[in-house]
Amino acid sequence: MQAVRAPSVAGSFYPEDPVELEAEVSRLLADAEPGPRPKALIAPHAGYVYSGPVAASAFRRVQGAPVGRVVLLGPSHFARLRGLALPDAGAFATPLGRVPIEEAPFPRDAFAHAREHSLEVEVPFLQVALRSFTLVPLLVGEAAPEEVARALDALWGGAETLVVVSSDLSHYLSSDEARAADAATAAAIVDLGRVDPEAACGAAPVNGLLLCARRRGMRAEAIDLRNSGDTAGHRRRAPPACSFGGLRHASHLVVGYGAFAFHEVTS
């Protein structure tokens, strides 16, 4: 096993300098509105200039919370993967330091994790918001909602555990088309329904969380819903956030982002 899963997108998706990175994440969190602490979150995973404000709106909800363990799921963009996999490492590193990876009964896939950004970009937010925690970083490939839900049930834990699913929403639509498509996706998430794979690059882990939340009688809340035109101010330039073949070169279009919170309902 490798000692550390090293950063792969520091200096591109977010600042490589630790002082600059902590200052940027702290600023984004400070600009976000506080709210009730959730059990689970959905947050986007593009470069911070594009999705950072939306991601911060999710992580602001857990800033300073007594969370010592984070179960983090995201899609595998660059490697074909069956099921769920941990990195082949004992720690997950960003410029802000190393986070211990908790042992869990899942296969390890160093290749799938090596270039993947969907988990990595969430970790600096968690490091600033929580300071000290262990991590269960799982990439999700070809996996049915039931398989993901079983994994979440096994890792659910109590109040000490936060579940985070990493997903962007629509890709390479016009700003108006993206708003309509993402509104429909947000409604499906809040209703604890099912998200179409074409509507979100992290549909597999999202649908697993939705199934788990539905069975547990949870309540979902939409915190923020914007696209790269709203956040970066370039409605005719989409970020190269994910790899979708030739579509990633359609630079006049936008990518959608949403932040969602899931709350356990007590009787």
Q: What is the pLDDT of residue 124?
A: 98
- Per-residue pLDDT band for 150 (boundaries 50, 70, 90) equals very high
Type of residue numbered 112: A
Q: What is the mean pLDDT of the chain?
A: 93
What's the mean pLDDT in 94-104?
Answer: 97
- Per-residue pLDDT band for 266 (boundaries 50, 70, 90) equals confident
Sequence-separated (6 or more) residues with CB below 8 Å from residue 57: 32, 33, 223, 224, 259
Q: How far apart are CA 41 and CA 60, in angstroms?
A: 11
pLDDT at 118 over 80: yes
Query: What pTM, to 2 d.p., does this model score?
Result: 0.93
Q: What is the pLDDT of residue 238?
A: 53
Q: What is the pLDDT of residue 184?
A: 97
Hey, is 220 helix, strand or coil? strand
Q: What is the pLDDT of residue 239?
A: 60
Q: How far apart are CA 30 and CA 50, in angstroms?
A: 17
pLDDT at 77 over 60: yes
From 1.25.40.10, 3.40.830.10, 3.40.50.300, 3.40.50.1980, which CATH number describes the 18-263 domain?
Answer: 3.40.830.10
What's the mean pLDDT in 148-160?
Answer: 98
Three-class DSSP labels, 31-86? HCCCCCCCCEEEECCCCHHHHHHHHHHHHHHHCCCCCCEEEEEEECCCCCCECEEE
> How confident is the model over 12-33, as pLDDT tens digits?
999 999 999 999 999 999 999 9
What's the mean pLDDT in 46-73?
Answer: 97
- Nearest-10 Cα torsion for 100, 206, 225, 266: -80
Exposure string over 198-226, b if 16+ CB within 10 A, otherwise e: ebbbbbbbbbbbbbbbbebebebebbbbb
pLDDT at 45 over 70: yes
Domain ranges for the chain, please list them.
Answer: 18-263
Q: How far apart are CA 2 and CA 208, in angstroms?
A: 29
Q: How far apart are CA 165 and CA 202, in angstroms?
A: 8
User: Per-residue DSSP letters for 139-176?
Assistant: EE-B--HHHHHHHHHHH--STTEEEEEE----EEE-HH
Type of residue numbered 69: R
What are the two backbone dihedrals, phi and then psi, of residue 211, each rounded to the nearest 5 degrees? -65, -45
> How confident is the model over 228-259, as pLDDT tens digits?
988 986 544 556 555 433 334 445 789 999 99
Tokens standing for residue 18 = 């630790």
Q: What is the DSSP letter of 192?
A: T
Q: What is the pLDDT of residue 235?
A: 43
> How confident is the model over 179-221, as pLDDT tens digits?
999 999 999 999 999 999 999 999 999 999 999 999 999 999 9
Q: What is the DSSP letter of 2?
A: B
What's the mean pLDDT in 39-62?
Answer: 97
